[in-house]
Amino acid sequence: MRRSPWILMVLLLLASTASAQGRIDRFKLMRFDRAAYRAGPMAMLPADTNSGIGLVYGDRFGLVRVVRVTDDAVREVWRSRNLEGGEIAEILVADLDGSGGADIVARTSGGNVFVFDEFYSSRWESLNEGLRQVSAMSIANLDDDPNYELLLFADNQLLYFDGSAFNREYQSTQTYRGGVREMMVGNVDSDAELEIVFNNGVVVDAVNGEPEWETEAFGNSIELVDIDGDGLQEILGYQTPTSFMRIFDADTQEEKPLQ
């Protein structure tokens, strides 16, 4: 079950009020709410106590919208043009180049990616890269420079783009099996490197792209959470429309029972 953007806005509004009274941390609520319900193409902007909670979400018409939620109103502050490639499938927010601003990254269901800066000006489009279909994306810092990398799963290959100049830093020489609709970056096993987890059941080394584990699909959607406190993240797989969850341990390469 996916919550509508407006339902989630009401939840955040209530959380903001409760936070002011010292009863709840709204950021924890947002993380757990998203992990539990996978609210769809939505992300939260960095907190600004003067202008409320900022939310970015995409709609089925290919528009990205930014709204501000305060104690007494929900106000739209920006909307994009109609982005090429159908409805908005995924939204990410991050300071890609370390400038202190919040970049908005949007992926359409047709497989195109668009990046807007903190002033909502266009920074980059995957249309210029000759990619046929981008089916998943993520953001992580995978090298020694301060810029983040934009990770794309495109045409069954893995690509990294620098978050400042959007140079293509890496492209896998091999192709991976299809069915990827989400990917996450985290520390899911006991080696020294980060891993990239695809929802289709493939875990690869984030440095060289080599597969470390291939199994059945984890689910339609995934999250990485350290459930048992061992310092390694487990893979939570959500399967819809049946709405059940499974837990996978990439270190021992097995499914863990829910208990």
Distance (Å) of CA 216 to CA 161, 185, 201, 237: 29, 19, 5, 11
179/186 Cα distance (integer angstroms): 20
Greater confidence (55 vs 47) lies with 55
pLDDT score at 55: 85
pLDDT digits (tens, 9 = 90+) for 58-76: 988 999 999 887 777 788 9
The stretch 202-215 carries a mean pLDDT of 95
- Beta strand 53-58 pairing with 64-69: antiparallel
pLDDT at 129: 95
Q: What's the per-residue H, E or C state across the chain? A: CCCCHHHHHHHHHHHHHHHHCCCCCHHHHHHHHHHHHCCCCEEECCCECCCEEEEEEECCCCCEEEEEECCCCEEEEEECCCCCCCCEEEEEEECCCCCCCCEEEEEECCCCEEEECCCCCEEEEHHHHCCCCEEEEEEECCCCCCCCEEEEEECCEEEEEECCCCCEEEECCCCCCCCCCCEEEECCCCCCCCEEEECCCEEEECCCCCEEEECCCCCCEEEEECCCCCCCCEEEEEECCCCEEEEEECCCCEEECCC
Give the pLDDT mean for 93-105. 94
What average pLDDT does the structure give for the chain?
85
| Predicted confidence band of residue 161 (pLDDT cuts 50, 70, 90) | very high
- Is the pLDDT at 23 greater than 90, yes or no? no
pLDDT digits (tens, 9 = 90+) for 105-127: 999 999 999 999 999 999 999 99
pTM above 0.85, yes or no: no
Stretch 134-152: mean pLDDT, rounded?
Answer: 93
Confidence at residue 217, expressed as pLDDT on a 0 to 100 scale:
96
Residue count (the chain): 259
Residue 77's pLDDT is: 93
